[in-house]
Each structure stands twice: as structure tokens, then as C-alpha cells.
Structure 1
Amino acid sequence: MRILLLIVLLVFPFASVQATTLTSGDRVYLQLPGESDFDAPFTIDDQGQLLLPEVGLIAVAGLTVQQAEQKIRQRLQVIYRNLDEFELRIMEQLLRVKVLGYVEKPGMVSLKPDSNIQMALAAAGGARPGAQLDQFKLIRGDNSVVFDYKAYLDGKQAQPLPALKGGDTIFVPTSPLLGNIEVNFDAASLREGGDADEAQGLTIFGELRNPGTFSYKPDMTVVDAIMRADGVTRYADVTKIRVITDNIPYQFDLKAYLDSGDDSNLPPVKPGTTIFAPIEVEDINTTSRTVYVMGEVQAPGAYESSAGTGFIDVLANAGGPTRFADTTQIKLLSNTKPAIAINLVKYTQAPDQYSLPKMMPGDVIFIPEKIDFNEKSWLKVTNDRAIKIIGAVNNPGRFEWNDTMSFMDLLAHAGGPKQQTNLSNIRIVRENATADEARITTFNFEDFTKKNKPNSQLPQLQAGDTIIFDELPHDPSDNKASWLRQSAQDSIYIFGQVGAPGRYAFNNDQGFLDILSAADGPTGEADIQEVLITHRDGKTTKVSRFNLARYFQTGNEALLPKVVAGDVIFLPQVDAIADTQAVKVMGAVKAAGRFNWNDSMTFLDILALAGGPTKEANITNIRIIKENRQSQENVLYFDLDNFITEGGSFAGLPRLTAGDTIVIDELPHDPTDNKSSWIRQSADDSIYVFGQVGAPGRYAFNRELGFLDILSAADGPNGEADLRQIRISHRSGNTSKVTKLNLSLYFETGDETLLPRVVPGDVIYVPKEQGNWLDKPAERVVRLMGSVNKPGRYAFNNQMNILDLLAEAGGPKDTAYIERIMIVNTSCCGDQAQTFDLRGYVKNPGQYPLPLLRPGDTVYVPSEDDSTASQLRQTLRDALGIVTLVVLGAAL
């Protein structure tokens, strides 16, 4: 092995492979005679380290050969004694470069020292289809360089590619046109999809074989751009090609340019230019096999025909008739024979009996439009050919009449009846009635459709007739303005204790329960055991009695009376003495009333019969009035809310007996409303909130709520509230008790024990922060007077000092004498006064300590006029004035 290494070293001189510094990938030989572990050469790994026996990893990248040899010698001399012949030589020098991005084999590659970027890409398998060749990036340490590899491949690169060094990274990006999902495609499909973005490329679309966004090349013309898109299609209008460059539109005539070859007609082309090739407008085209379709078809025009092409083929090729086409009056026009009328409706009904004419080249099919007989010019149809429809139909008006039509045809042509149409009494007025005919006849269309009668029983119409469709009232119980629309012979009357008494439309298909449900059923006060029915057949009157309660108990349909139009139904009011087996439910329930009672029922059964409480019901204080008790305890209270939430036992439900009354109060719609609806709320369930809150007033309250619940219900304290002086008056005992709450302290500490317990009847008062000064005792405030911006009384605690007080008062005025602020302390042993130099404190806080300030003290900030210097200046000023007067007097 050593002989082989010596031969290699002799053939490849070390001087030719030695480099200034060692890099990752270099292969080195460590000469250490007598040690077999050093016979094979070593390779510097990607971290720039050598892995040597006995000593481990040694970092040598970036060192010269001599430096690396010295560093390794120092590490080896700890293990090996004789290192006289130790030597490091470079056998082979390689570049280790990372190739990342859109390449076939991203990763680390080893290259020869003189390799370039192209060799590095080849070692990584080359760039993949879709790589953006003009945006390659070379990263070396913290620096990066972007270069155009495409220009290098095209031979247009003025500068050579960047040189490589060991540890470099080459990044190959993808084209932004690839999208977010990778698919396999070849170079042709990539080329067809475009190779540039909109800002730097040319956008070419329209009648082109391959529209897209393509890269711009210098000296490129609009013809080059069109050829880049594989040219125009046969439908393109080459005389009106649009070009937009720098937001300036140009029109380019490609045909004129090809005819003249004049380059001056070429519009400018730059990166970002948009080119559009419009479609050519079709010219008139006639051949020896052309047939024409005109009129109301989906696609009129000229169509090529063949020997076997028929009328239906041509019509189908034109998309068929539209919904406005009159298919009974189609015309076939020919140059060689007279016009032929075609009735396509008859052909569809009997194709074996009605034949269609043969088509010849040059024939014209014309499909006319249907005549609209409902337009204003009604004189197009004379009165002897028209029927009038008025009233509750979707499209009333005059319609052309033919004896082959029927009543159903005419009604369908008028759009059918409306939802509120009275179909049981359609009136037909005959204008030219004979002496033997009735001028007005009626027709029950609803009876005709339900009983499957033959069409022969439809009314026989003739031209000139008028059909009137009456409209039912929008509200069946409306007897104020629209009841006249309903005929008396089609009406039934219901009075008494029903939800909506009045006059209702009625026919023979309906029964007693139908009319009772239409009137919203009996009310809670109706005596359903004594329903009175007056039968009026127009000649005599008969009254029958009906026990509706018995029907509800047995379900026997034979008990129901037969009622017809014209009858009168009366439900009297129940007699309280006669109906003793009932419980009354009043108040905020879905269906208040009287309900039959038996001993097997419970409180919840009666509540369910009443439809349950409404969402506005106060279910915390339900009252049960015991009719059979004569004492003052004839009213019981029941908390249904507590029963539901706490899961109460059914044994705790109140026991009811016949004659009892259940009253469920309704909460006010606005809890703060104390003008008209406050009496709905019991005082025993109310709590009172006054003062500086968002919505003071009287609120419903129960034992499960707390102080924060009622405060939030009142929209919380407003900005002027004094949170430290909240008062609660407890009125639940024999005497009133007032507690105080510092809500601000609760917000600071979150201590729930600070919150008082409140119950219904209590009064909460939130005072105003700057209200009457008598609300704040003197022992809890500090009085601030003198030359400050806002003198007054301020709340004060032991955590504050004089600086906090002055800051809250807006600070001293400009004229304040802050060198001598006076503080009067009030204590048990007498009042004491002290002074404080605020200016000195600001300059030297350590020399001027802050004075002790307690609630009840008084602080006075004097003005500069009160200072000794100011008084001295005033004295001198006065003396000088006197001397001046004396001198002037002597001079005079």
C-alpha cells in the first residue's frame, strides 16, 4: 500500500495540487511511518473536518497545508511519540457544492477545482423542466448573487458565470407559471403554456393557435410575437389586430403589412405589451346546398344541406322554435314553387297523417311570432270573437275565443286562479242571452275538480261572455271593508266565545270542525257543552244543541252536527257554577283558559294543557289561588324555575283541586320601564338600583342572582360613579341596614368576599364621584387650597402622597410659590403645620423628603405674592415712589 501511494505521489507532484487553503472534499495523505491506520488517504468532510484514528475529528478547512499539519501534529503527539517523519500532503483537491431547488438530484456534489456552475448542475442531474433559468442564485455565506443562466446557454452572456468555491450553494427556482400542483409534462407543453409573467412578458390572446404569456426578446416585433403564439387561426380578423404598449392602443393591419412590407406600420412592442387578435365577422355565404331558417328559432341563419336533409333536420339544426314561435303558421318559401303552410302542431299530434314537404337548396323556412292578444290594442279581436275574464285570475283580460276551446283552456290562458279566488262561485254573464237562457249562471269549479265530473259538465261558453272570479277576503274574519266580496249563500256565521268570530266562506265539502278551526277554536271561557246551531235553509229555522266536550272525550264522529252555508253557530260563555271540575290558568302562558281537572293530574299537566309559560313569564313566583280556602292563606307561591334547575321532586309540586286558579305574571318588556308596565312585576321579586348607573330602575331578582348580576342588568356604573362609596340598604329584616362597598377595591383584588349579599327588596345606590361634598366625610378627604389649577376636596388613602394629590388637582399654577407649600396635619394631640419645598424636591429628592399626608389634612399652596422676596420688592417699590414724589415736589 505504501509503495502504491509513493507511485501516486511521484506521478502527481504535490506542488501541482497544493492549494492555498484546504476545503471540504479534499483528499489528503498523512505520512506516519509504522502506523497502518494512516496508510489510506483521508477526505475532508462537508463540515471541514478530518476523522483521524485515536484523536477523532479535527477541523482543517480554511487552513493552509502547513497550518493543518501543525494542528494535526499537536493533536497526535499526545498519542504518538515519534512524529519526526510526519507530513501532510494533498493527493486530490475537490469542490463540495450544494445544488438545491428545481433540479433532478438536489444535494451535495463533488467537483474538480476548475469546475463551473454548468458542471455542478450536470452532477445534480440537470435542471428539471419548468426551472426558471434566468433567476439562478449563487449563495456564499451571507451573500447571494442572481445570474442569468439562460443568457449563458444562448451565448449572450457578456460576463462569465460566477466562479465556484467550496461550500457554495446553487439554488434553481421554478417558473411562476407552473402553479401550486406539480404535474409531469414535456418541453412542448411547457412552451405552449407560456414562459414569462405578465409584467415582463408579452400577453397574446384571441384567435391564435397558442395564446399565452411569452418572454420578450430584444428587437422583437408584433409579427415575431404572433409567430411565438404559433400564428393566427382561420377565424382571425388579421386587419384589426389590437396592440397595447405603455397603455397606448394601436390597431395593426397584418394583411396590409404583408402586402407592402412597410416596417413603419409596425406598432411598438415592449415587455408588458398586450396583443389581441379578434374574430372575423362572418360574411354572407351562399352555396348550391344552402337553406335558410328565419324567424322565431334559437339560431337563425344559413345552413348546408345534403340530399337526405329533411325539414325537421334543418329546424333542429337551427335550435328549434322559441317559446314565442307560432308553430301552426310556418311558411316554406321556394323560388320554384308557391309558398307552403306547415302546421307543426298537427304533425306532432299525427305524424302518420300529416306529411312535411321536402327541402330543396335555396328554400327558406320562416317561423312567425305568435300574436299577443292581451296588448292594449284590443280592437285587433272583435267582440264576437272574444271572451272577457275579470277578477281574481293571474292574467285577466280579453281573449280570442274559438268553439273548439273549453272553459279549462280559457282559464289556463288567463294564468289560472289566484290563491285567494273563490272557486266555488264563479259567475258567467252572457251578454246575448235569449229569453230561455239565464243571463247569469254560476259554476262550482272546486266541486268539479274534486268529484271527478266529466268535461261535459263544464259551462258552455260562447263569444261575448264575461267570466267573473270573486276574491275571498284576505282575512276570513274581516267584516269591516272586504266582507262584501263574499256571497251570503257561500257563508257561514260563527259567534260567541271563539278566537275570531265572524262570517266565513263555506262549501259542502267542509264540516263543523273546519269552520270551528277557521275561527281559531273556542276560547277558554266557551261553554263547549252547550253549542247552539241555527239551521237556516231559507224557508224554516231550526235550532240544535251540541255537546262538543263529549265529542272530545269519545271521539265519536257521529256526534258532530251537519252544517251548511247559511247556518249560524253560537258558543256561549261558560257558567262558573255549572263547571266545577276545572282549573283556570291565567297570565303569561301560550293558551290561557279553563281546563278540565281530575285527581290524576298534576300541576305540570295543567301547565302543559295551557301551552306552557311564554318566554316573558316570571316562573320564579307563580301564584296558586285556592278557591275552597277562606283564610288569608288562600294564595300559594311556587318557584318553577328552581324546580327545573335544581331537579325538584314531584312531591314538591303544589297540589291542585277543582276550582283553583293559577296566575303566572309577565315580566315587563323593558325591566327599567316604571311608567306603565312596572306594576306587572311583584315588589317581592324586585330590587332597586339608583344613582350613577346606565339604566337605574326596578329589576326582577331572585335568590340565585348576586350583586354583579343586578349591576350588569342596570348597564353598570357610568363614568361619573364613585365606586368607592356604593351603599346597599338591606330591607329584608324588621329594620333597615346599610352597608358600604368599595367596588374599586374589588376590581383591584378580585376578592369575592368584598361583594355584599343582596336579596329582593334591597336598594343599591351608586353616588356621583363629584357630587355633594357632604357625601364624603372630612376624615376621608384631603383639602387642597391655594394656587393650584383645581382646588377642592379629594379622596385620599394611605397609598397616596402629596405628589398624587397635586397631580389629581392639575398641578400648581405658574404663579404658585412651590418653595413653601404648607401642610396642616390633624391628629389626636392637636393640629401641626409643616412646609414642603417642591422645587427642592425636584432638584434633590434625597435632601427634601416627602411630608406625611393623611386623610383629614389640609394642603395650602401659596402664591408668589406671599413670598418674602415679593413683599420686599413691593416695599422697595412703594418707598421709591414716595422718594420720587418728594423730589418732584422739591423741584417744583
Structure 2
Amino acid sequence: MKKILFVHIFLCLCSMVAQAQVSVPTQAQQVKVDDLTDDQVRQIVDEMRKNKMTLDQVNIYASQKGISATEANKLKTRIKDLNLDKELVFTKPPESHSTGRGINMEEMTYESDGREKSVATGQKHIFGAELFSNRNLTFEPNLRMPTPPNYRLAASDEILIDVYGYSEVQHNLTVSPEGYIRIPNIGPVYVNGLTMSEAKNRITKQLATIYNGINAGNTFVQVSLGSIRSIQVLLIGEVVRPGTYTLPSLASIANALYVSGGPNGNGSFRDIQVLRGGSQVARFDLYDFITNGDLTNNIILQDQDIVKVNPYKIRVELEGQVKRPAIFEAKPGETLQTIINYAGGFTDKAYRDQIRATRIAARERQIITVPGASAGSFELRSGDQYFVDAILDRFSNRVSITGAIFHPGDYALEPDMSLADLIKRADGLMEVASLSRGIIRRLQDDYTQSILNFNVKDVISGQEKILLRREDSVVIFSKLQLREKFNVKISGLVNNPGYFDYADSMKLEDLILMAGGLKEAASLKRLEISRRLRGKEYDPNDTAIAIVQQFEIRSDLRSTPEVAHFLLEPFDEISVRKSPTYYEQSNVEINGEVVYAGTYSINSNKERISDLLRRAGGLKSAAYPEGAVMLRKTFVNESDSVLLSYKLEVYNNKLKDSTDVSKTRSDIFQKDQIIGIKLNEIIRSPGSKYDLYLEEGDVIKIPKQLQTVQLFGEVYFPKKVRFDKNIRFRDYIRGAGGFTTNALKRRSYIVYANGDVKGARKLFFSTAIPGSGPARRFTFPKKERKNRLPHRKPSASRPGLPPSR
């Protein structure tokens, strides 16, 4: 039965909306969202979408229909469950109305915090419009507050009667359309139009007829208001969504304006009338609430009240240096000062002496200048645009001083203030100030700059008096700024070489101490100083470009009197050489089959491999001298690295294949290189050409007796085989399965245990492997295949080209 009743109500609602009015019977309060079908929810969404309402406005829609807030939340949940919320997404407000000031309400959008802003650049919103466009603001009536004393009962109100004491009974009664409540055992009691206190007295008097304890004082009666009724209010005039709205009976003028979207672009915020029974009962001004928080005239509406929003009469625009620039509505008789007060007053930078204005005359616009003192009496006209300018960004009494003074900055210009007074005000000159000359940057009458120079010493002593003007800028130069930064340099064998700041009376010994002293390797016989030539007359025959002087340091590491008292000059460069008799330890390493393997220091520039082998105790019995190798570092010092890099670049320039260049570079720049040595020859003939001199970082490795040969490359089964000096080269190949079809036989080579490499081009017919011992490995390279064009004879008709087929 409830579903049939709701469908009937809903169809009535749809027909009323089609007539641009929203009117719902009071029974709509009894609608339960849980009883609605999915199709009925979709119909509600269609209706909201036609009215361009979003999901957040479900509560507004529910209040228009008289549906409670609890049921409205259920309706929102049902819409989300059916995925219908996507149909209620709009990027613009529901209605579009011109404000009459060139601002379209459709151009209003919202910040993330709900504040209104104008999309159009330079346009201002109407002051007060944020009350109805701010999503975080609502004027929904509080239904949980105590019943107001002046609230008058009417049809559909629910009255709760509680009798307690000697007699106890409770009644929940609803006021009938005729204005009666029916009390059991008593009958109808007329309460329509009564306040709650009046209704309580009448109900208590009627209950006293059956409950004697009421008059005796031992039975008590409490009368309160339960569910309130709904009222129908008509909003007409300049509102965003005019029509008839069903609201709670506690709704006020502000509630009605909020659910209707508020005044439109032409609506007044200050002339809102409430008509009841054909006569005006209230006139509401929203600016009283916005500026003063005054809701005195925000009366509670009654059923069938008419809220009329009249068109605005005067609107002016105020912009510039005010706290709330916007478009303001004014009442007749209000002045410009009133609008400034609505805007929150001037900002700190506002120019208050004059306010510029643009006014629309009968045929054209005109410019008006309003003195600041006349703002309280200046009459407004609709369409005026007022602009409050900012003060000038300059100073009326500023002078500044910079440079070699203790407190540079800006100072106030006082009458008859001189340059000496300003220097004294800045706490005087610094010790490094240049006293010969200073300058003043001064603005001329046409605001172009001019330069005035003065003698600082004469100004300080009082011999010269210079009066200052507004915006004068004084510069006191520093001696340090007027010359190149002086320094001296020390390099070579000192602990902290580099550049040091020069100071007057700086001596050579001082600089050595500042550099951390000499290193152990420093030469005591050779300390050299080079100095720039200054003040020399040009002589084409004179080729000297620097002064060079050498000093000697005593053997006890103390400076001679010449060094101790030698005064340095700016840009002197001191070089400390290395002693030719100082050497750091150079270590080599010998490993493998020697008696005392390990690291040894080279004790002579002419120490050889045989000397190292002797110091290591000689070879062990299992040593294999034919396989001994030496590892030597690629670079001994920086000069070797640069030289080898230069040679490598010359060689690489001759190579055409980038792969060959990369391979050569990687091979040469290895950390260590293998040097094939003949240890048997070294042992047999010490000091011979095979007995190499030792260098820092050399590593000699002597292996045990080697008994295998390793085969690599293009053979069918690369492996290790036992060494036999009677086996021929070709026999080793057969033992590995022979050459593959890709083998480049004549490019095969042998790497011996000591690092020697020999080609195997003529080995195929030899009876044994050349050399005195087993090879480390045989390597058989792969053939290189090249794509070659077939050779063709040139044709007679086309010399130089192959004959045509």
C-alpha cells in the first residue's frame, strides 16, 4: 500500500516540476527510501539531472520534497550503489544569469576549499554571493533545538503529552487539518494557531477534568512538540530557481533563499520581502548578516508565505587597495564610505587622499576624482567603478651609504644634514677606507643620475661641507677593493703547497711555515724564488721577464739569515726542489719456487734479476726456470703515462678498424704487462742482456715443473694433453680431433710458459714443438670471410664496367 501511495505522490511531483514549481503534499514526509524500487530511484536521478543538481545537493532536493535528512542520506547511498552518481556531475552552477555588470554566473568556479573565484581575469564577484555558492556553507534549520516560545501550532504538528505522578499516561497526537487534537477520554481540543505555552495551558485544563491530581498538585503534565510539520513557501522575483518549496516549519528567510540558490545576477541582496496574507511582514537585508552578523529580520516563515527578491537598484564596483574588492550593492542614501566599510576598509598601502572613479553618464562615460575626505558624503550611482590606488614606491626622506663604513644602509634625511653627519650616523669609517676619493650618486630634477666626487679626508676633518639631498647614495671605497688581490705561491716539496694571501712584511720563512714546512725529500741546497718585473722601462735588447733568486737551507733544517730575513713581494713564486740523493723505498716481489719468496726492496739502481734471485736463496728443486715470467707495471710515473698515450695515438691514427683500435688500447693500458724472461740464461750468465734491471712494482713468478699443453681455438676438442718432447705439432692437433673447417691453419701460434710467442706456420712438417719445454697453449684462429664481388671483364661498349648479361 505504501509503494502505491509513493508512486502516486512521485507522479504528482514530476507533473508539478514540469510546470516550473515544486509542490509536494505533506504526506511526502512519510516516504521511506527503503521501500523505493530501483526504477523509482532512477526517476529521481533523472529529475535531479534535469534541474542540473549534483549528488551533494541531494539534501536540498529532499528538503524541497519534504523528505527528512535521514532518508536523504539513504537516498544518496542508494544512488551510489546503483552507480548513478556519475550522472549527477556538473562543472557549472545550476543556473546562468547575467549580473548586469559584465559578469556571468556561469564563469564562477570553486577552489578546493569551497571559496568562490571568478574565471574571467580581472572580474570581481558580487559581495554576498558566496553565501549561496560556497559548498561548505549551509542554512539548514536546526530541528533538534527546543521549540521556540513563539512557535504556533498548525496542521500536521505532532504534540507529545506526558502525564506523570499519581496518574501516568502518554499520548502522541497529531494536529488535524481542522486544527484539533483528539485526547482519549476527553475529545477534540482546538490548538491551531496557539503557541506552545498557550497549548499547554489549554491541554492541562482539559486533562484536569479526568485527572483530579492535577489540581491537587500530585499529578503533573508536560506538553512538548514532536515531529514538526512542513510548510509551503513561494519564492518569486530575482532568484536562481523560483518556485514553491516545501520546508520544515522552523525554516527562516535565509533557509528559503539557500534552497532556491539565492538571488540571481539581477537580484537584490538588500531588499528581500516576506509577504503574508497580501501584506509585507518583514524586509531582510543580507548585508546586515554579512557585516554585523545581525539576523534580527531573518524571521521564521509560515505556510503560504511569499519570499520576493526584488531587482537591485544600485550596484558599484570597488577595486584596488581595499581588503575585499568586489561588486557591492548600495541602498539609496548610502555613500562611498559605506561601501569602503563593506569592503573591510583600506589596505596598508592604500593612497587615501584621492579615489578615482568611472561613471556612466547619459551619453558616455566620465572620470571622477573623489577626495578622501569627501568619501562620507559622496553620492553613489549604479554602475560606478571606484579604484583605490597604492602609495608611491619611493621614499620622501631617504639617503643611503655603502662601502667601507661600519653600518651601511638607509638613513633618514634631516634638515641641513651634511655628508659628515651621515658618516657619523653610520658609526664612522672602517680602517681600510680609501680617504682620497668617494662619490655621491644624486638624482637630478629630471630624475637622471649624476656623480659627485669628494675627498673623504677633507669631509671628515670639516674642511669641506656637502649638504645631502633626498635619495642621495654615498659610496666609500675600500683600499682592498681598489687593487688586485695579492697572493704568493709555493710549490714543490712542502706539506701544503698552493696559494697564500700576501701580507705586508711577509718573509720567506713565514711562507714556508704557513705551507706546513718542508718534506723529507726537499733539497737543502736549492730553493728558488721567481718575481715579477715592475716599473721597468722598455728596452728591446732586454730579454728578462722575471727575477729568479736561489737560496740554501742549512743542514740542521733551519733557515739561513738570507732566507729568514728575505721579504716577499706580491705574486712571488717559491719552488722547493727534491734532493738528488733522496730515494723512497722501491719494492719488488718474487713468488713461486724460490727458497725465500716475498717482497724485497731494491738496494741499488743497478740491481738485476740475478741479484734478487740470490737474495731469495735460489731456486727450489721443483722449480721450472723455463716458465718463469715477470709482471711489470704499465706506468711507472705520470711522464711515462703521457708518453705512452702519445705513442698510442700515433699508432691508432694508422689503423682503420675501430675494433683494432679498441683492442690495442685495452691491451696497452693494462695494469701489468708480461715480460718473457729466460731464467736459465740469467742463472748461467748473470749480468748478461737477459738479466734485466729491476723496477718498482716488478713481480717475478717461478712455477713448478709444467707437464701439460693446452689447446684453444678452432679444433674439435680443445683440451689439455700431457707434454712429450718427442710428439710433433701435428700429433697434438690430431689428439684434439683435428682442425675445424673454419680454422686458419697458417695463423696458428704457440704461447710458451715464459710468455714468448711463436708462429706455427712452418711447424706442420717439424718433428717436435720448437722450444725447450711445454707450451702454455696452442691457439688456432678462425678464418675471416669477406664478401667479394665476382670479377668481370669490362665490356667494350662501357669501359671500366662489367659486361652486361
User: Whose relative contact order is higher, 1 or 2, with alpha carbons under 8 Å and at least 6 apart?
Assistant: 2
Question: What is the TM-score with the length of structure 2 in the denominator?
Answer: 0.29
